[in-house]
């Protein structure tokens, strides 16, 4: 799977033309949402959300900046391009319903490459119940460019902001953190080895968890559904795309509060710990400063604690305090340090 960019057959995209390509890529679309009134094929899509509020988010992904095709299969890239946007919608407490997808097609790509990319896109659309309703297509002189806009709906005024946490609320995290960053370190290392000695096969042994977390992340639809089912209102929420430290500081700053975060409570998988030790880096540092985990960080009122802990996918990692106390982490050795956006260097240097 690694380092295979070009497939054997190659159909020139120019043989279809722009409209032929769009038709080819979108011909099998079947809408899953009644809110998708009109999709691909006109000047714009028409959506009708029947009195619900609409939540919109967009992301731009550039080859060489956000992804490296030397080790990113196009199918995974298509899947991830959709998922990272849906993660933003879930972090607002919204239900995703549509996406638009724009591509700047690299001149190195044939039709087969685009088909593979769209296969990943449609797999994500199906899994998360969203309709692809439009986009734009251009050719790019400088690598592959992907932009996804995702649209979701929320019951009027029930969206969840970053700025509404309350003092005394519990800080919660879904899933586990730090894996995607180790996955990236690992793939970068293998790429370097490959470039120096192309005959050496990449050694993926034992790293499939962390590599999978980087290449094929999931958005936490299940967590939003769980909170709704248990009638737990998150008081604030953000998705963890840039590392836990940075996201916690967003909640603190925007809610005008401080917090206490316990290092020992940060959820980190055993797989991640094992991989981190091989790289001689501290797994906590990866969770705090890594990124691309696409988990949810949120706060709840303490009264909801009993309902919350029935879900093993959620960890309570600390609580919100008055702003004067600042944002702090209590280490495993019981020391207190301010949380900084660059991550907490003391952790890496203490090992």
Binding residues for ligand ADP (CB under 6 A): 22, 25-26, 40-43, 101, 103, 132, 134-137
Compute CA 129 distance to the chain's CA centroid, rounded to the nearest angstrom. 17
Please state the closest distance from residue 25 (CB atom) to ligand ADP, in A: 6
Q: Which residue is nearest to Mg ion (CB)?
A: 136
Q: Contact, 210 vs 271, CB < 8 A?
A: yes
Please state the closest distance from residue 67 (CB atom) to ligand ADP, in A: 17
Element (H, E) at 171: strand 170-174
DSSP labels for 147-169?
A: EEEEEEEESTT----SS---TTP
- Segment 109 to 148, residues that bind Mg ion, using CB under 5 A: 136
Q: Which does 193 bind (CB under 5 to 8 A by kind): ligand ADP, Mg ion, none?
A: none
Please state the closest distance from residue 74 (CB atom) to ligand ADP, in A: 14
Q: Which does 210 bind (CB under 5 to 8 A by kind): ligand ADP, Mg ion, none?
A: none
Please state the closest distance from residue 41 (CB atom) to Mg ion, in A: 12
Among 249, 240, 238, 248, which Cα is nearest to 292's?
240
Distant-in-sequence, close-in-space partners of 120: CB < 8 Å, separation ≥ 6: 74, 75, 76, 77, 78, 79, 80, 81, 82
Output 136 or 203, the one with its CB closest to Mg ion. Answer: 136
Quote the radius of gyration of the chain (alpha carbons, Å).
Answer: 21
Element (H, E) at 55: strand 53-62
Output 136 or 225, the one with its CB closest to Mg ion. Answer: 136
- Segment 220 to 239, residues that bind Mg ion, using CB under 5 A: none
Compute CA 58 distance to the chain's CA centroid, rounded to the nearest angstrom. 13
Output 42 or 324, the one with its CB closest to ligand ADP. Answer: 42
Output 7 or 138, the one with its CB closest to Mg ion. Answer: 138
Please state the closest distance from residue 151 (CB atom) to ligand ADP, in A: 13
Q: Which does 283 bind (CB under 5 to 8 A by kind): Mg ion, ligand ADP, none?
A: none
Distant-in-sequence, close-in-space partners of 112: CB < 8 Å, separation ≥ 6: 7, 9, 10, 11
- Which residues contact Mg ion (rule: CB under 5 A)? 136
């Amino acid at each position: 799977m690694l380092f295979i960019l070009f497939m054997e057959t190659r159909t020139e995209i120019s043989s279809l033309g722009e409209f032929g390509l769009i038709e080819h890529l979108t011909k099998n679309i079947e809408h899953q949402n009644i809110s998708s009134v009109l999709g691909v094929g006109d000047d714009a899509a028409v959506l009708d959300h029947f009195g619900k509020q609409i939540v919109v988010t967009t992301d731009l992904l550039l080859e060489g900046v956000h992804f490296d095709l030397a080790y990113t299969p196009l199918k995974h890239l298509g899947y991830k391009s959709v998922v990272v946007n849906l993660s933003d919608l879930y972090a607002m407490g919204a239900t995703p319903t549509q996406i638009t997808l724009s591509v700047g097609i690299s001149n190195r790509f044939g039709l087969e490459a685009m088909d593979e990319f769209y296969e990943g896109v449609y797999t994500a659309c199906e899994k998360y119940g969203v309709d692809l309703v439009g986009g734009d297509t251009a050719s790019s002189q400088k690598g592959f460019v992907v932009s996804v806009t995702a649209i979701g709906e929320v019951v009027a005024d029930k969206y969840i902001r970053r700025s509404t946490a309350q003092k005394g609320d519990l800080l919660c995290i879904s899933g586990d953190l730090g894996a995607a960053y180790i996955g990236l370190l690992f793939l970068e290392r293998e790429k370097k080895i490959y470039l120096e000695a192309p005959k050496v096969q990449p050694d993926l042994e034992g790293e499939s968890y962390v590599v999978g977390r980087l290449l094929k992340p999931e958005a936490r639809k299940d967590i939003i559904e769980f909170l709704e089912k248990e009638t737990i209102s998150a008081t604030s929420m953000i998705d963890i795309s840039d590392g836990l430290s940075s996201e916690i500081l967003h909640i603190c700053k925007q809610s005008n509060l401080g917090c206490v975060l316990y290092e020992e409570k940060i959820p980190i998988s055993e797989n991640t710990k094992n991989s981190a030790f091989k790289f001689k880096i501290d797994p906590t540092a990866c969770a705090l400063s890594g990124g691309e985990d696409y988990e949810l960080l949120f706060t709840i009122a303490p009264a909801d604690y009993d309902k919350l802990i029935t879900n093993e996918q959620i960890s309570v990692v600390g609580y919100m305090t008055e702003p004067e106390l600042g944002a702090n982490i209590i280490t495993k050795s019981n020391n207190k340090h301010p949380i900084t956006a660059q991550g907490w260097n003391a952790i890496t240097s203490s090992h």
